Structures are given as structure tokens and as C-alpha cells.
Chains A and B, each alone.
Chain A
């Protein structure tokens, strides 16, 4: 079985702070990590490799620095790593990104494509379903379990109110939740080995795409503006005895007609 895992390098958004004076994001010193849901996807692929036997290829689109994350994927146990890196991909929204990834995957041999549910920087959850559409493959999102069957997969999907079991016939795209697949650590040998291996860097010329559908040109949505969240006027903060605090809360709740 050939499994492709789509991964993205993202800033660790839990480490981002806002400059209280300028009101801008402080990105300096924020570490870049493998997107957690994608890492869960890689973990699922590696578990399938152990139980079913599989070749696992990780594919990422991004700047040259994403090389480091792809080596982490190799050190965890992936067999092959491809980085789509080309200025022509720049400025892509989810439609153009999914188009480029689909164009790459179309040139590869695969039985299953796994992606993370969403990336923690954009939080859109759109790239994988759009990629599935470009490839004309069925999709199941919010996946918490997947098993290979004779002619497809049995997949469990987590919704807000239920867990569904679905049967997929043939090749498909799955998007997975990090919480369901706790990722393994890299091994020391894996790390050493990963730096001896090649991360293939591909440009737009090596994939099956029409150039005008890539990057900014191929993106129907544009960022009109971005701004730090407006901070609300802080209210009053009191340091009182417990009795006084209770009385103050009660009087305010009465004022606001809450009690």
C-alpha cells in the first residue's frame, strides 16, 4: 500500500504574543512545528505501515525552511519526503494550495491520502476536502480511526454529537484529529538517518497543473486586511475580603438584572 501524508509547517500559535504597545503579533522566536493534526495523520500512516505494510510519502508545500519538518517526518519513519517549493505557489489561498498539492499527488502512486483536519495557523480545514475534489476522490473528515479492508477502508468519524462508522470503497482522502493519534517520537537513529537522506524539492514544472491556477492568480479569495483583535476596555479589578467580594458580586448581578 502507498500512503501519502500531507503536512504543513506552522508557527506554534500558542507561543505567539501580542505587542501590548503596537498591537502587532510578535513572531520573533516563535518556534516552527509540524502542524499537530498533520502529525496525527503521519502517525496513522506509520501505524498502517506497521500493521499492513506500506510506503509512506510525506508531501508539503512551503518555503525551503520546511525541509527541517520533513526530516522530522523521515526520522519518525516516513519513507520519502517531497517539498513543493516555488515562488509561483506564493500567495495561494486554500483552493490554489489544494490544486498544487493535487497536481503533485496525481503524479504519484497511491492508495490512500491522509491529511490533518486543519492547520493551527489558518484553522480553515478546507485544503484536504478541496484537494479530494480536485482528485475526484471520496473524503472523510474528522477521522479518529481507520482500517484497511479488501477493497477500501473502514473509518470512524467524530461529529459534535455522535461517532459514525463509514465504509469507503477504493482510494480516498482522510482528514484526522491529532487527539486520536498520539504521535511517536523520533528515534536517535532515525534523526541521524534523516539527515543522510534526501528531501526532494519540486517546482511547479514537475507537477501536473496549469500555471494560471497556482498561487495568488489561482486564488478566488484575497486578504482585504488583517489586524490584531481589538482589546476590550478592562473592567474594574478588586482585592477585597471574601465577604466583601461576595456582596460586590451580588450587587452587580442585581444591577445587571442577572439575579
Chain B
């Protein structure tokens, strides 16, 4: 080996006990073709600087915890290869639009508080007893919502969304896509309840269809499409509410 090439990492550091704000720290890591940004951060943590903090878990793009801004783009660091960002230095920052707890760790309280607001569970008019068996579903019915059920709550879409960055009250892409996932589920009867939440100003209307959420989504959930469809749904319901007599609603 001998002359193994290396690449620079420019990592955003923030230690709340001593730093007034985030600053940069540079590390040199081996540039290996099979290494991701997450591998490089683990190399830093294990070999160079044990004080560096970041979240990660599965290393295979399914847990959604290693999201960071890499060269300004929200990415899952476990799926972002160093060679694709050569020659570097690679800028690694905490996910945009969220408050920073320490180094690359963001505060996800706001997101965790928003998710349950859209009631992301199956709502039934009448709950069927366990003895009556399961709620059956055809493959076509599964297909209708499957795409929206692929969300891993990695929050990349929130980091990409300027509307969320400017107006933290905006309920955000993933939450609306998740609402759509349950609305489209043939077993669910909760569309009206979710619409009541999303028809509010901080629901779907803040979205100006930048489309970045869909572009950065590692699971191809298409939150931007879900939001526009929700607007149409809300508009249809509102028009019907005006046109139809009360009983017919």
C-alpha cells in the first residue's frame, strides 16, 4: 500500500458547554472506494478524535438516523461515498433547518411532535374484534399507498425544505406524505380527521412546491406530490361543502 491517498473532511463542530456557535474542524481520512462519509466519520471517532458526536445506527439506509448535510445537500451519510465527493474537502454539517444539539447531532423534538398530529395510524369507524379476523387488502389496494409507506423518518426532506426553514410551524413534507399514506389505505376511514389538521394554514398551504423534498428523499416517497394532491383534496372538499346541502356531505 504505502502511498494511500487521503481526503479532507470539513466537519461542523459545536460544543454547547464552550462554543458560542458552530465552527469548522478539518480531518484527513483515507480515501477508500468502499468508504462512505459515515465510515469516514467513524474513522475520525475511533482513530483521530473521540469527542466528535454524530448519530448513526444501521449503516444500510433503513434506520434514517445518519442524515447530515454533505457539501450542502441533505444525505444519508451511510449511502454517500467519499469518491463521489473527491477531491474534497467534503463539508459535513448537521441537517439544515434544525437546531443543533452538539456537533452533527440535531434536535428532532419538533419533528417528533409534528408526526402524530396527522394521526398516522389506521382509523376505523368501528373497530373489528380480533375474533373477526384481519382486515383484508388486495395487492392493488396495497399498491395505492405503498410508495408513501417507505418513509424512514430521516428528516432529509425537512432539511431540504426552505419553507420549513423559514416557518418552523409548517407541518412539513414527511408528515403530509405519511397522512397521504393512511388516507390511501383501503382499511382506513380517517381522511376527514387528517384533512381537518392539514387544511389549517400551517398544514399544506405553506408549501410553495419547491420540490426539493422529493429530490432528496432516499426512499423515493415523493412528499411534494403528496402535498399537491392534498391541496387538491382539500379544495375539492371545500367546494363540495359549499355546493352540497348539509345532509349529502
Query: Do A and B make up one complex?
Result: no
